[in-house]
Structure 1
Amino acid sequence: MTKLFVTALLLCFTLLLHAQPDINYSIKVPSKHLQSQENIQVYLPKTYHQGDKKYPVLYILDGQWFFLNGVAIQETLRGDDLLPEMIVVGVDYKSRSYHDSLHFDYWNELSRYVQEELTHFVDQNYRTNDERVVFGWENPSFMVSEFLFQKTPSFLGFIASNGGYVNDEMLESFQAYDGEPLYLYVANSKKDIYTVSSSDGLAEKLSAQTINNLEWTYELFNQEIHESLAYTSLYQGLRFYYHNYGSKVFSGTKEFHDEGGLPALEDYFKARSERFGTDPEIDASTKNSLIWLAWKQDDFTSFDLFMNEFKDVLSTSRYASAYWQNRLGQFYLKYEDAAHAIEYFTRGINEYPDPEFMTVMHAGLGSAYALENEISKAKAHYREAIKLAKANNDDQLQAYEMKLKNL
């Protein structure tokens, strides 16, 4: 018994070790600008060692504080409908005095180190693509702003939490940028009395003019305070940058129609494809969710639209069960679409003869054939439903018998 326990314990320990994130906390980066060896932390996605895929990189300023926030987002919140797998790089600033607002001794050197030396080091040593996102909280949010508003930004996504700024000179320099669209996410809280005026000022400055090649937003999380906003803003900033990365999700069929219906949905996936190199066709997840929504909200008009437009997903494994064939058949029957109800009930009975659903599907066929005025077929299926109901002590037995009698 003791031997068995030890074996099980070792197995659990092995699995636990296998599940640990791939993190190196002490990687040295030589810097001519800082005349030193700088320390960074690096997280690699779980699939990194399984092929030759290249990954986007999330750079987190003040990595000594917030690096694990980025790792947590990747480990717990990443998914096909949220974010891609990313390399996370923590930029260790703990030895720097720039957090004292009166002593920005290393500001310019740090800025050049991150944009020039560190990004080059990461690209040379890891499989990266061209997608870089940078996050900064408090004073580093001002550095994030400087990274953005210049002629040749080194990043595509910028997340400025609890701070940020821009002046006319920076905006004028940025006007020369003509590359792909950049994304700026600014977050703060009215309770952060130290920095909220800076974020407000940045938003006001950007709102006062049209800025090409920049998508930006400013959000206030007034339940947070100065010290607590970093995680929320990091996650929401990534969601803003990757707003069209995943499947399109709707709260209801009304939202689908209000946003432009099928043409708008097709445009969404085309734009997604152009940005991320994904399939330009509407994906199965979106199609399935819309079919489910229409059924759940009892919207037969939308349901019928989706069932006709998204026929390809109906032949996938998701619907390969008596459960789904019965569900679809019953919904069509409810709205007296007998032809489609017969189609799904028949497929359920013939291809997925699950005893749990055979009785109700035969009864459904009886009702559907009755709508078609094919009385002999209706009676045959009601008789089969009654037979199965008696064998299974089905509480719907009397209802089936009454429907047969009424025929």
Structure 2
Amino acid sequence: MKMKVITATVATVLIFFGVQAQSEGIPNVVGTNHLLSSKILNEQREVQIYLPPDYQDSAKAYPVVYVLDGQRFFLHVVSLSQSFQQFQLTPEFIIVGINNSYPNRFRHFGEGKENFKGFLENELMPYVNENFRTKGENLLFGWEYGASFVFHMMMDQPTLFNAYLMASPFPIFDAIDGLDTSSNMGTQLYFAVSPDEYDVRHSTEKLNEKLTTQPIDGLSWKYFEFELEEHRSTGYPTLYHGLRDYFKYYQEFETNNLRKFINAGGMEYALNHAQERAKRYGFEPDLSLWSRFTIVRSAMRADDFYHFETLLHALDKDEFIKELLAQRDYAVSQIAAFYEKHNRFKETIELYDLLLKKYPDSERLLAKKRSAQSKL
């Protein structure tokens, strides 16, 4: 009889066992652990691998993000990937966390870096490519000594990874002198520092100056200075901003700041984003309705009527309003209110008339129309 009670229902179990049953819980498993026998390092290497949620139900191939010091940063990158997916900011990607124990990490990333390069290129990456559906698009992240290793890997094998991400790289000051500015590197580099990191900051400033004064063909790069961070925390925002920028064309175009939009190139900038997004990820090459609305909205938020009208006409105002009515009619109400704010009552009434055709019994819209008419 006791067994029947235990297996009857979850509710019955909770009634009989209360808090004790809840405290036992269920294991929260994130990814899988893999133990690789490395001939190059002459040791067993533990790596953690996280697959996108839809991996088993799809035939897609995925980019791979390799994370040095996986024991520290693996879960952070998993959390970022889940957040990115929720807001459709990046494609899904496989995450490989490479665990390192202290103090061995300093040897692997320092005097033993040539062997560790060999392990990464000739053992780990082939293992991942053979066992999982990868698309040949790889990114490498490291912090502190791990970032120094990333820098040396980029100098030695610039095209092995599509992007190199370095948080508080140290030591690289002397190695920067060996960076061949006459080469064609064909990759992307992100590096970051906290202003309070004395020796590290000297290195990143030196690298920033060298890349600024002696651009390297094929190398796209960004330098981040995180004012509120410290040496121990720079890895986290570097991963967020580096991954967001690398995959920046995945998100549909959106702008929230009129001045930044204009300075970046305005409509040409937006159209280029849409076309690049289509080329890289297979989306439609035209600006979405949401993208176009955020462009107009940026002028309304800036209270800039000149650019508001200019952008509306650039987007084919009548057709744009028609699409908004069909899909985002709240936006038409916002545009009407902006016209009214700037004493353009004729346009205001016209838009409320369009909304009233869709919602003829709306007292709110009728009141707004009458208010505008009284000011005409």
**Normalized against structure 1, the TM-score is what?**
0.73
How far apart are 1:106 and its partner, in Å? 3.5
SS at match of 2:221: strand
How far apart are 1:208 and its partner, in Å? 4.1
Asked if 2 retains the 8 angstrom alpha-carbon contact of 1:22 and 1:44, the reply is no
Q: Which residue of 1 aligns with 2:130?
A: 124
Instruction: Out of 118-127 and 317-326, give the one that drifted further.
Output: 317-326
Structure 2: distance between partners of 1:184 and 1:9: 53
How far apart are 1:70 and its partner, in Å? 0.9
Q: Which residue of 2 aligns with 1:115?
A: 121
SS at match of 1:213: strand
Q: Which residue of 1 aligns with 2:359?
A: 352
SS at match of 1:226: coil
Given candidates 102, 118, 134, the residue that maps to 2:140 is: 134
Confirm whether residue 175 of structure 1 aligns to residue 168 of structure 2.
no
Confirm whether residue 300 of structure 1 aligns to residue 308 of structure 2.
no
Q: Which residue of 2 aligns with 1:259?
A: 264
Residue-by-residue CA offset, 1:337-367 (whole Å, 9 max, x unaligned): 5664444222322222353424325526745
> CA, structure 1 residues 6+252, in 2 after alignment: closer, same or farther (shift >3 Å)?
same
> CA, structure 1 residues 8+305, in 2 after alignment: closer, same or farther (shift >3 Å)?
farther
Q: Which residue of 2 aligns with 1:153?
A: 159
How far apart are 1:239 and its partner, in Å? 2.8
Aligned residue type for 2:113? W
Aligned residue type for 1:23? G
Residue identity over aligned pairs, in percent, reads 27
> CA, structure 1 residues 304+203, in 2 after alignment: closer, same or farther (shift >3 Å)?
closer
Aligned residue type for 2:220? E
Q: Which residue of 1 aligns with 2:293?
A: 288
Aligned residue type for 2:56? H
How far apart are 1:74 and its partner, in Å? 1.6
Name which one, 1 or 2, has greater alpha-carbon Rg.
1
SS at match of 2:136: strand
Given candidates 220, 240, 248, the residue that maps to 1:235 is: 240
Structure 1: distance between partners of 2:13 and 2:369: 49
Given candidates 68, 73, 82, the residue that maps to 1:66 is: 73
Structure 2: distance between partners of 1:236 and 1:184: 12
How far apart are 1:89 and its partner, in Å? 0.9
How far apart are 1:6 and its partner, in Å? 2.1
Q: Which residue of 2 aligns with 1:403?
A: none
Structure 2: distance between partners of 1:21 and 1:314: 49
Unaligned 5+ segments in structure 2 are 1-7, 16-21
> CA, structure 1 residues 278+359, in 2 after alignment: closer, same or farther (shift >3 Å)?
closer
Q: Which residue of 2 aligns with 1:41?
A: 48
Q: Which residue of 2 aligns with 1:379?
A: none
Structure 2: distance between partners of 1:96 and 1:307: 60
SS at match of 2:101: coil
Confirm whether residue 246 of structure 1 aligns to residue 251 of structure 2.
yes
Residue-by-residue CA offset, 1:133-185 (whole Å, 9 max, x unaligned): 1111111111111221235521011111121534455527x8154xxx42111
Structure 1: distance between partners of 2:337 and 2:177: 64
Confirm whether residue 200 of structure 1 aligns to residue 205 of structure 2.
yes
SS at match of 1:149: helix
Aligned residue type for 1:89? V
Q: Which residue of 1 aligns with 2:4?
A: none
Asked if 2 retains the 8 angstrom alpha-carbon contact of 1:329 and 1:340, the reply is yes
Residue-by-residue CA offset, 1:218-245 (whole Å, 9 max, x unaligned): 2333443322222122222223323444
Q: State the aligned residue count.
A: 356
Structure 1: distance between partners of 2:333 and 2:245: 40
Structure 2: distance between partners of 1:60 and 1:336: 56
How far apart are 1:332 and its partner, in Å? 3.6
SS at match of 1:182: strand
SS at match of 1:171: coil
Instruction: Out of 349-358 and 123-132, give the one that drifted further.
Output: 349-358
Alignment of 1:82-97 (within 5 A): 82-94=89-101, 97=104
Structure 1: distance between partners of 2:88 and 2:80: 13
Asked if 2 retains the 8 angstrom alpha-carbon contact of 1:22 and 1:46, the reply is no
Structure 2: distance between partners of 1:271 and 1:35: 45
SS at match of 1:33: coil
**Normalized against structure 2, the TM-score is what?**
0.79
Structure 2: distance between partners of 1:266 and 1:43: 35
Unaligned 5+ segments in structure 1 are 372-407
Structure 2: distance between partners of 1:295 and 1:55: 39
Aligned residue type for 1:84? P
Structure 1: distance between partners of 2:99 and 2:235: 16
Asked if 2 retains the 8 angstrom alpha-carbon contact of 1:60 and 1:91, the reply is yes
Confirm whether residue 217 of structure 1 aligns to residue 217 of structure 2.
no
RMSD: 3.7
Q: Which residue of 2 aligns with 1:279?
A: 284
> CA, structure 1 residues 53+299, in 2 after alignment: closer, same or farther (shift >3 Å)?
same
Structure 1: distance between partners of 2:120 and 2:244: 23
Given candidates 106, 116, 121, the residue that maps to 2:112 is: 106
SS at match of 2:270: helix
How far apart are 1:28 and its partner, in Å? 2.4
How far apart are 1:287 and its partner, in Å? 1.2
> CA, structure 1 residues 32+315, in 2 after alignment: closer, same or farther (shift >3 Å)?
farther
Structure 2: distance between partners of 1:238 and 1:337: 44
How far apart are 1:58 and its partner, in Å? 1.1
Instruction: Out of 158-167 and 198-207, give the one that drifted further.
Output: 198-207
